[in-house]
Structure 1
Amino acid sequence: MIRRSFCKTLAATAILATSFGVSAQNAPIKIGAVLSVTGPASYLGDPELKTLQTYVEKINAEGGVIGRKIELIHYDDGTEAGKANSFAKRLIESDKVDFIIGGTTTGATMAMVPLVEKAEIPFISLAGAVVVIEPVKKWVFKTPHTDRMAAEKVFADMKKRGITKIALLSDTGGFGQSGRKEAKGVIDKYGITLVADETYGPADTDVTTQLTKIKGTPGVQAIFVFGFGQGSAVATKNYGQLGITVPMYQSHGVASNEYITLSGKAAEGVRMPTPALLVANSLPDNDPQKPVVVGYDKTYRDKYKADPSTFGGYAYDALYLAVNAIKKAGSTDKAKVRDALEQTAGFIGTTGKFNMTAKDHMGLDLSAFRIAEVRNGAWKLLD
């Protein structure tokens, strides 16, 4: 009797173990996202969320990843870093996600970093500041170009135009202040002198005082605004209202058509570094990014009847980088996925060609940036 009972127990245990194994193999892959869908950064976060939802649905319709569907679990931080921290904690501790995408802003991202590092979970940020990946953090990656790269691309264009004295106007948020620091760190390489240095708050509704000071500074030949969202548009409108005639440059923090809508006619002539997505249909046919960006552009327009933005493109790249890493790892084992992500090579996304290494958790170079200018109310590719 004892022997028979023991055998039955073993059989039951084997059945449970087999059932558990099958269940685990069929369980959805949980990808968490914390995005700024509302608040000052909403025109970045909203297309990011829509992009993730669209392509998760597409991937699932095509059979999922390694035979499993993706479950997207997302939260809106309202452009508040404190909320981003709380939601990241929920994703890790309660939702038990396999991977995290998000941190629309630098502030939100850096509030999440200590949590993902401690939990040892792969994380791809959608924020621009170089601090996200420098110094390298084992579990943290990003898709947008860095603020340092943006500054270098802008200064290279200024040098071509013979501009040697500029004013810097940056917002006081994480992205703006990191951009200000990086711009000041590389400006000498291009033979350019900073003759005015002003700041504004990301939520400010008027930047006239700072721009008036810049206008009155002798020798200013151009203005470089480092910020994102509505604050950059406010600065542009005030620039137009004050009748300032020197060229204005913006960072990739405004790389969308929404910036032109918010800024109005004052945006005419503004230049900025941008990913290829914003000028998708202007790319030459032999550009390796063209099929990717044109495909994304069409999918987004068809589904949402709205212009896509480069911010949505950052989310697209993050999702497919994650998917590729999971495929390469052959599982959702976090360490294996992290290692596979770090070994990404030759991945063509909307943002550029990604070649990551243990020393570079972004994997983009300056060739991934294009210079565009607002002409007749639309972005035009210059280079």
Structure 2
Amino acid sequence: MTLHKSLAIAAGLLMGATSLFGGAQAQDIKVGAVLSVTGPGAFLGDPADKTLRMYVDEINAKGGVKGRKLQLVIYDDGGDAGKARTFATRLVEEDKIVAMVGGSSTGTTMAMVPIFEEAQIPFISLGGAVVIIEPVKKFVFKTPHTDRMACEKIFTDLKQRNLTRIALISGTDGFGKSMRDQCAAVNAKYGVEILAEETYGPRDTDMTPQLTNLKAKAGVQAVINPGFGQGPAIVTRNFRQLGFAVPLYQSHGVASKQYIDLAGDAANGVRLPAAALLVADKLAASDPQKAVASAYATKFQTITKEPVSTFGGHAFDGLMILVGAMERGGFDPKVIRDEIEKTKGLIGTAGVFNMSASDHMGLDLSAFKMLEIRNGDWALAE
């Protein structure tokens, strides 16, 4: 055999191998994510980003889904709703994804909803507000507990403590405003009276004037702070500085160690509803979430060397719901949507998910734990 012919055969084999590998690559299933990895919402998006990457790697290492590997396409919106919408369009039109897990906040999520609804591609949001899923949108789902549930869990705890007259200090961000509205909509159901209200903006650095007004209101027995980001930490510090001698409640929007670090010792005594994930090691052995939450917490902390947060857990739940749907139904977006809606008994870090045509979240109030911060750490308050 001549050298020329040998080279030609080798080249042909190489081209064949390239074609085979290229064909395999083309068969990967594209899953999109738009997250606030940087910017003011980084405490939401960064753990979600890390979670999706490490679990997609694990899934692929085990052979993928139905023999097909997942290709994760992630964009960082920096907390900007306009950028989130642009990236959502890119995922649909250019990347040709079959499903989406992301949307770190209510604001970025709602900017993307019309894109995925029009494209008929399932979108599992990681945002908190109930408006994401009510009214029901055919292709939109979510994994975090809603702001309404947070209000109800807090009001239940207040009633148990015989505290029925409260004040609200709410962020004007999408989540803060939505939770404020939800609390105002359900407080009477729990026999709780809202005596006074104040708000603060996302760039405010001192909430002392608003808290002084609330402290001056006679009869206030507790204060609730709907909000997320740095605002609640500032509220907490100012609250303690003023010597406000009533219980302070935060929302699940601050359920990460970053809030405790920012608020410092002032966080001790604060109560908030949150996922079991934060107290996985403290759950009873009989708790159905213990094994899942503990395994996720161990994996996240081992790989990232960072404290676990519920926001990474929400991404884990979303990915597991999506993978379960694809394992059952395949990779057509409309079929995936149908299978997500059929999710039953899936144990996640946020609770046990049971979705339906009228419930695109699938969690009830029992999925929430009431936590109290003690000595700079999470503890069960109940």
Quote how far apart the aligned CAs of 1:283 are: 0.1
One-letter code aligned to 1:48: A
TM-score normalized with structure 2 length? 0.93
Alignment of 1:334-345 (within 5 A): 334-345=333-344
Quote how far apart the aligned CAs of 1:202 are: 2.2
Question: Which residue of 2 is the match for residue 376 of structure 1?
Answer: 375
Note the residue ranges of structure 1 that are not aligned, 5 or more in a row: 1-18
Q: 2: CA distance between counterparts of 1:192 and 1:265?
A: 29
Tell whether 2:353 aligns with 1:354: yes
Q: 1: CA distance between counterparts of 2:83 and 2:26?
A: 32
Q: 2: CA distance between counterparts of 1:368 and 1:348?
A: 10
One-letter code aligned to 2:355: M
Quote how far apart the aligned CAs of 1:25 are: 9.4
Question: Which residue of 1 is the match for residue 275 of structure 2?
Answer: 275
Q: 1: CA distance between counterparts of 2:28 and 2:63?
A: 12
TM-score normalized with structure 1 length? 0.93
Tell whether 2:227 aligns with 1:227: yes
Quote how far apart the aligned CAs of 1:242 are: 1.4
Question: Which residue of 1 is the match for residue 11 of structure 2?
Answer: none
Question: Which residue of 2 is the match for residue 250 of structure 1?
Answer: 250
Question: Which residue of 1 is the match for residue 16 of structure 2?
Answer: none
Quote how far apart the aligned CAs of 1:192 are: 1.1
Quote how far apart the aligned CAs of 1:36 are: 0.7
Tell whether 2:75 aligns with 1:75: yes
CA deviations on 1:63-108 (whole Å, 9 max, x unpaired) are: 1111111111111111111111111111111111111111100000
Tell whether 2:310 aligns with 1:310: yes
Quote how far apart the aligned CAs of 1:23 are: 4.0
One-letter code aligned to 2:131: V
Quote how far apart the aligned CAs of 1:325 are: 0.4
Q: 2: CA distance between counterparts of 1:24 and 1:179?
A: 46
Q: 2: CA distance between counterparts of 1:366 and 1:138?
A: 23
CA deviations on 1:328-378 (whole Å, 9 max, x unpaired) are: 10x210111100000000000000000000000000000000000011111
Aligned residues: 363
One-letter code aligned to 2:52: L
Q: 2: CA distance between counterparts of 1:319 and 1:147?
A: 22
Note the residue ranges of structure 2 that are not aligned, 5 or more in a row: 1-18
Alignment of 1:31-70 (within 5 A): 31-70=31-70
Q: 2: CA distance between counterparts of 1:118 and 1:202?
A: 31
One-letter code aligned to 1:364: L
One-letter code aligned to 1:357: S
RMSD: 1.4
Percent pairwise identity:
58
Q: 1: CA distance between counterparts of 2:241 and 2:179?
A: 25
Alignment of 1:286-297 (within 5 A): 286-297=286-297
Question: Which residue of 2 is the match for residue 298 of structure 1?
Answer: 298
Alignment of 1:111-150 (within 5 A): 111-150=111-150
SS at match of 2:55: helix
Quote how far apart the aligned CAs of 1:24 are: 7.7
SS at match of 1:319: helix
SS at match of 2:187: helix
Q: 2: CA distance between counterparts of 1:44 and 1:181?
A: 22
Stretches of 4+ aligned residues off by more than 2 angstroms = 22-26
| Structure 2 CA distance for partners of 1:376 and 1:262, relative to 1, 3 Å | same
